[in-house]
């Protein structure tokens, strides 16, 4: 992804055909009503934050998309305000622990059905004693996720250190899209 700040309120983004395949989206599929498009835009917002330290998560966005050669895409993302705001910590990792696999599956089904737009990634890990989910969510929606999960497991922490320790001492079972995959199990 090549992103260029072209004014205080507009960023230009070029995505190659390989990057479009990575995001699992085609130009013809871009539609603000589709879940895939919203997920794609949320991923782009996160990448822009990482690369340019620009937080678009709380802005009204104006997006223009132009198809380029061989499946690549050119996007212009603008905001209504005077200039982009630079912020930190738009997302965080929530670590939840569960006693049974059944609790993890039930919680995943509920999260995926009702709140799949509130988190970006999820990892499922296990040890000899219990199971853990690491959910990368947007900071402002952590409370909604907590309210859903508190019935099935207990919160271990909401920081990068807790997530890192879990990844180090637990066995990774499903990486990145755990809640989606667990939600289809019976």
What percent of the chain has pLDDT above 90? 30
The domain that contains 120 carries what CATH number?
A: 3.30.70.1950
d(CA 182, CA 13): 34
Question: Which of 79, 109, 144 corresponds to the end of one domain?
Answer: 79
Mark whether 98 and 176 lie in a shared domain: yes
Q: By residue range, what is the domain housing residue 22?
A: 2-79
pLDDT of residue 19: 87
Query: pLDDT of 3-18, one tens digit each?
Result: 777 777 788 888 888 8
Whether 34 maps to a domain, the answer reads yes
Q: Is 13 exposed, middle or buried (0-12, 13-18, 19+ CB in 10 A)?
A: buried
User: Using alpha carbons only, what angle is made at residue 25 by residues 21 and 30, rounded to the nearest 5 degrees?
Assistant: 150
d(CA 156, CA 169): 14
Token pair belonging to 138: 């947007």
pLDDT of residue 27: 86
Whether 84 maps to a domain, the answer reads no
pLDDT of residue 32: 79
Mark whether 72 and 139 lie in a shared domain: no
Question: Which of 79, 100, 130 corresponds to the end of one domain?
Answer: 79
Output the pTM of the full model: 0.53
Whether 86 maps to a domain, the answer reads no
Alpha carbon of residue 59 to chain centroid: 17
Return the closest-CA partner of residue 116 out of 164, 69, 183.
183
Token pair belonging to 11: 């960023």
Mark whether 102 and 176 lie in a shared domain: yes
Question: Which of 50, 79, 108 corresponds to the end of one domain?
Answer: 79
> What is the number of structural domains in the chain?
2
Mark whether 70 and 133 lie in a shared domain: no
Query: pLDDT of 39-90, one tens digit each?
Result: 888 888 888 877 777 777 777 888 888 988 888 898 888 887 665 655 445 5
Query: pLDDT of 94-122, one tens digit each?
Result: 999 999 999 999 999 999 998 888 888 89
């Amino acid at each position: 992804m090549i992103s260029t700040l072209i004014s205080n309120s507009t960023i230009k983004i070029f995505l190659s055909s390989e990057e479009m395949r990575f995001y699992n989206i085609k130009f013809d599929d871009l539609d603000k009503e589709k879940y895939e498009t919203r997920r794609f835009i949320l991923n782009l917002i996160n990448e822009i934050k990482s690369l340019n330290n620009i937080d678009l998560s709380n802005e009204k966005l104006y997006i223009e998309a132009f198809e380029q050669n061989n499946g690549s895409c050119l996007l212009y993302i603008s905001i209504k305000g005077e200039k982009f705001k630079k912020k930190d910590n738009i997302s965080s990792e929530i670590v939840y622990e569960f006693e049974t696999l059944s609790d993890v599956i039930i919680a995943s089904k509920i999260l995926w059905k009702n709140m799949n737009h509130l988190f970006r990634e999820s990892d499922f890990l296990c040890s000899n004693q219990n199971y853990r989910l690491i959910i990368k969510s947007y900071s402002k929606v952590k409370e909604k996720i907590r309210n859903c999960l508190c019935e099935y497991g207990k919160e271990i922490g909401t920081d990068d250190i807790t997530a890192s320790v879990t990844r180090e001492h637990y066995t990774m079972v499903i990486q990145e899209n755990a809640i989606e995959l667990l939600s289809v199990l019976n």
